[in-house]
Amino acid sequence: MYRGGMMQDAQSCDIMPGMEQRAFTVRLPADVAADLEAVAAADGTSIAEEIRQAIGDRIAAKRNDADFRDRVRSIIAQNQRVLERLAE
């Protein structure tokens, strides 16, 4: 399970030390947002931390999925062919 560090304050940006950060906007149904807020409050974490953890868990699960890895390898092979053709 992914456990990144929480941001200390808006100035410190210690979310994941040493890693470049990218911002995303996520729109959630109101009931899901309310559930997320309650989970974060109960765990004493931020909403952003809960989202980072969920995404980290999802990526870890995908990395352990053999069918997913096969699809990724297929995309890599396809892109390799295109890149080689463009380099000619």
> Quick one: pLDDT at residue 49?
96
> Quick one: pLDDT at residue 29?
98
In sign, the C-alpha dihedral spanning 13, 16, 19, 25 is negative
pTM across the whole model: 0.68
Crossing angle (nearest 10°) for helices 30-43 and 47-63: 100
> Quick one: pLDDT at residue 16?
62
Of 86, 46, 60, nearest in space to 1 by CA: 60
Confidence of residue 6 (pLDDT cuts 50, 70, 90): very low
The pLDDT tens digits for 10-67 are 333 445 677 889 999 999 999 999 999 999 999 999 999 999 999 999 999 999 999 9
Domain boundaries, the chain: 1-88
